[in-house]
Chains A and B, each alone.
Chain A
Amino acid sequence: MIYKLLFFLALLFPLTASAQFITQGTITYERTFKIKRALQWEDNYKWVKKFATDIPKDVSAPFVLRFNKEKSTYKFQETTSGKDAQTNWIVNNFAHKDVAYKNEVATNYQTGMMESIKKVFEKNFMITDSLPRFKWKIEDEIRVIAGYPCRKAVTTICDSVVVVAFYTDQIMVSGGPESFNGLPGMILGIAIPRLYTTWFATDVSQNTPRFTPPDIPRKTHTVSRREFYEELRKDTKSWGNYADKMLWRVTL
């Protein structure tokens, strides 16, 4: 009896098996900045606490990735809920809202080109370049994100900043949030401990995505990735050590 059932299930599998793989759809990511933790680790926590007793644990913002096998767009999702409109002093001051906060990334997997629109303080940039290549180290760990088992992969950016990614091979597009790519599947989770920031997919839906053209703000400089980095490097030259941390955030 049990063998019959197994056989029956096995017959069904070829149908469901192909359905388990996704080639196009929409993923909603939540980017979370662990603000309290970031402040706690900084030694200015004491004086921050003087001004605010209600430091939120984290600050999050939604992003949507629309993808198919040819291309993808990654966009900041404006929310209308009151949560974001709340003017929390701490959030406004410490959530890095000036540094590449609402990025937009368009990737063409066929040509291998990527366009990213980023605002850094008062400057708007459009970075047009080939897809950045990461040296991914694949690990044993598996974690379920948005119902998909994801394998852990680790890379470093800017020489020393560790990026932990979780990708699922059930989505057959090698993309991910921001400019992360190059894994044997879709990245559903990113964690950058030194920036106290994570991106995790909250919803994956299989549909035909509606791509919208990018919103290019007025006065946008079109630059290559190197030019972008050099310009910021130059602008922040006198800022000393902490410019590095800003550059990490910007180059994602």
Chain B
Amino acid sequence: MHKIIYLFLTLCLSPALFAQTSYSLSGTLKDTLNFGYTQYTSVSLLKASDSVLQAFTRADTGGHFTLRTGSPGHYILLFEHPRFATFVDDINITAADTDLGVIPMISKSSLLKEVVIVGKNAISIKGDTIEYVADSFKTGQYENVEALLKKLPGLEVNRDGSIKAYGKEVKKMLVDGDEFFSDDPAQVSKMLRASTVQSVQVYDSKSKQAEQTGIDDGESIKTINLKLKDDAKHGYFGKIAAGGGLPDYWQNEAMINAFNKKRKLSAYAIMSNTEQGGLGWQERRDYGSGGNISYNDGNVTVTNGSNDMYGFDGSYHGQGLPKSWQGGLHYGNSWWGDTLSLNGSYSFNRNDAYALNNSVTQYILPDTQYFNYDHAESKRNSINHNVSFHTKYKIDSLSTLDLDINGGIGANRGNNFQQSTAQTSTGDMINENHQSQRSSGDNQRLGLSLQYNKKFRKKGRSFSASLSENLNHFASEGTLQSEYHLYALDSTKTIDQRKANENKSQDAGLGLSYTEPLAQKLFLLLNYHFTVTDQQSHLQSFNHTPGSAGGYEDVLDSLYSSQYAYRIIGNRGGIGFKYNPSDRINMTLGGDIARTRYTQKDILYDSIINYSYLNFFPTFSFLYRKSRMSALSFNYYGQSQQPELSQLQPVHNNDDPLNVAIGNPDLKQAFRHRFRLFYNNYKVLNSQSIYASADFSLVQNAITMKQNIDLSGRRTYQYVNVNGNYSGGFWGGFGKKIAGKLTGYLNANISYDHTNNFINNLFNSNNTWSFSPGINLNYYNDTILSIGYSFSPAYNSTVSDIRTDIKTRYWNFTQSLDLSYQLPFHFKLGTNIDWHIRQQLSDDDHHNKVFLWNAWIGRSFLKNRSLVFKIYANDILNQNIGYSRITSANQISESNSNTIQRYIMLSLTWNFTHTGGNRLKSGETINIK
């Protein structure tokens, strides 16, 4: 067919480098059959061993070509021309000049094959979603996710466990896209071990309400999703820790996570009486105990009554001595290729707290000042059981059904003793009060919600419907003994009553929303919500009679007893438009109208009062994305605020005889205008973030307090409408990688608040402003050394119209330092310091310098270093005195309480891990790196 020619030449490819050893190859292409032109035929010289292209050229008008190569050896020559068959020839170059002579070009044939593109791995940084591959950042073998997050550029972890991503607080943390016990980042990041995490994904998600209604409320929620490693999903891991300290402190924990593919089974148990353990695991449920009902935004919230003693939420705020026992169980799984998924958890907690509190409050009135000295002692305990289930079923690729069930029962008990005196600045007594309260209560609650979401093939069209039902029951029993003396009137009053309180509420709701594309870039959003709430509130007071059985008579004290039945019917409908002229601009304009009707039925006095309000909620938002990491947004929210029932007509209550509420049935709705401007810019390569936001709000007909304090120090208050309340603020932050492993953050916060109110029939304005800049430096050197330092001064100023001579202005300086260092021989030490300095306002202003210092040293044992022994010293200088200071409108309040002080604790922690190896079934994919 063709002849093979071997020729021997010497030539050069790169004359500069191989001038002495280059080989040239030449030849002439001829169409021997048809005598056609072979001009422009491409001639490529490939290495025979790996067919790598060495040189190429084109044949000239005569079909002649010359090629150069750098070394002798076996080559392949490739001749290509559209009209001719591709001709491949093997040659062996041995001489400096090789002439191949005439090479015939013949008829055409070629091989066509489809290209199959097979991928192995993927990319990890995706615009707004930033994904961190966990193993790229070194953490200690058994450290939790929190330690990992500290090392990720752009993320900050505060000491209290709260997390910020690119300057914004992370509000949600998911594990493989699902809730894990809860979506509380502080909890989830402590629950899982860093080494089980494959990657950390940070992105913005919509608020739950926006997801449900399809109406973008402008709130984006920074969310972190933790992707677990596959091998972590085939085994179990956890830890057991036991600690005991002096004087009398203990902290024991156990946690286990057993994962098997999609099944997640986890359990934890914690018992602790330190600030570090249990109580940080917040139990954030609201237990409805009646009292106030507010109905805003179409959502009914039932908050605790004025007597807040039942509402112990289980979180520790640094006051009192806590003891807590907690446990939980979580199960998550999905079936049929994630078509059906289920997440369920049960949790238990028991919290005991003993608190002692002393406070001094200075009241600044138009013509006088007086001081209130208060001593309170309380013992509380609460036990709660909670169950929650979330099930999601994907009916098809466009529709889903979600079912949520939450329920719980709980019991609370509390004893409260309080002693207070009020004195003038000259030391004359105004009033004196002793009070002791005891109560015990039970609560039950159940919530159900069912939601259906449907998308359509037409882009932008969607429909969702939801049904919800909530039941709450709360009952308590207790006694109240109180005695107060008013010196000006020289009168003494005593109260000794038994109280029985019962609240029942149920509400049902229906929500519908629909979106429709009107044009390519314009969308219509419609929503409608209907809710009915029924609540019964029964408060019974029985006076003490020495002779009767049990000490209390059976006849109600009619003044301090009440029985009400409420019905609240809410209808809310809204229309909105969304306009996306380009992928950089997003605008929404819309408004809701809500009608709320209250019926309050007084069962004891057989009377009915109706209230009805029509509320408006206009919104406007504008978002401009300069680039994918930089955006500017402007929002306006208008909102009617209707008065709360307790402001219209409060329930008579003698729990606090020195503070008496008076109703105002003529209260009008307030209307709040809120404007917000937000700018953010994150530079990925420099790890530089800039965030700034400014907001301003103005309230028309603001519902504000009108208070009267009489000569005996008794305070009566009523809510009235005023105009001219406004507030504004600016917040900005700047963060940057300074050098290598050192990052720095600067931030500043300025706020101003102007509030009008009435004090002793005088019109008063309070002007409060604060300024707080801050600086934060962090340095991490792998797992060996980490240092974090922050300095945040704050300036506060409060001036009120009625007493312009008294100005409360002071600076506060807070510095903190965190350090941990890996020593040789598997020792590790750490320390953290909080140093607070507050400007002294007067000579008797104490405790304005506090230096809190904690330190620990630990050593790890065993071959895999899984056993850790640690000595921890809390508050080494014993300076924690539970001090707090609050300045507001016309009062300055200082308090100190018993709290956790100096102690030393020895603890032993065992981290266990068992991975079941690769138990992948056939058909499952393994990600190869």
Contact = CB atoms under 8 A, between A and B. Distances in A.
Interface of A: 10, 13-14, 17-18, 20-21, 34, 37-39, 41-44, 46-47, 49-51, 53-54, 82, 84-87, 92-99, 120-123, 135-144, 149, 151-153, 164, 169-170, 172, 174, 182-185, 191, 193-196, 198, 232, 235-236, 238-242, 245-246, 249
A37 to B, nearest CB: 7
B52 to A, nearest CB: 5
Given A123-B685, A170-B82, A238 B153 contact: yes
Contacts of B687: 238
A121 B583 contact: no
A10 B32 CA distance: 13
Contact of B115 (A20, A143, A236): A143
B56 A183 contact: yes
A170 B929 CA distance: 39
Interface in B57-112: 57-58, 78, 80-83, 86, 110-112
A184 B46 CA distance: 12
Contacts of B199: 44
B133 to A, nearest CB: 5
B122 A38 contact: yes
B136 A46 contact: no
B124 A236 contact: no
Contact of A138 (B46, B126, B225): B46
B195 to A, nearest CB: 15
Given A17-B82, A82-B520, A137-B51, 20 more contacts: A13-B34, A38-B119, A49-B338, A54-B455, A85-B582, A92-B583, A93-B203, A95-B127, A122-B627, A122-B683, A138-B46, A140-B111, A143-B112, A149-B110, A169-B80, A183-B53, A196-B123, A235-B686, A239-B136, A242-B132
Interface string B205-230: 10000000000000000000101001
Interface stretch (B36-44, B158-166, B180-188, B371-379): B36-44
Chain B binding surface SS class? loop
A97 B115 CA distance: 26
Nearest to B113: A141
A85 B586 CA distance: 12
Interface of A is mostly: mixed
Nearest to A87: B583
Given A14-B37, A246-B123, A246-B125, A184 B117 contact: no
Interface in B726-766: 741
A245 B123 contact: yes
Contacts of A18: 37, 39-40
Contact of A136 (B40, B52, B177): B52
A211 B520 CA distance: 35
A138 B78 contact: yes
Contacts of A97: 127, 628
A191 B115 CA distance: 9
Interface in B812-848: none
B489 interface: no
Contacts of A236: 685
Interface string B125-146: 1111101110111000000000
B83 A13 contact: yes
B397 interface: yes
B36 A122 contact: no
Contacts of A53: 397-398, 455
A17 B37 contact: yes
B781 to A, nearest CB: 12
B581 to A, nearest CB: 8
B122 A196 contact: yes
B548 interface: no
B493 interface: no
Nearest to A140: B111
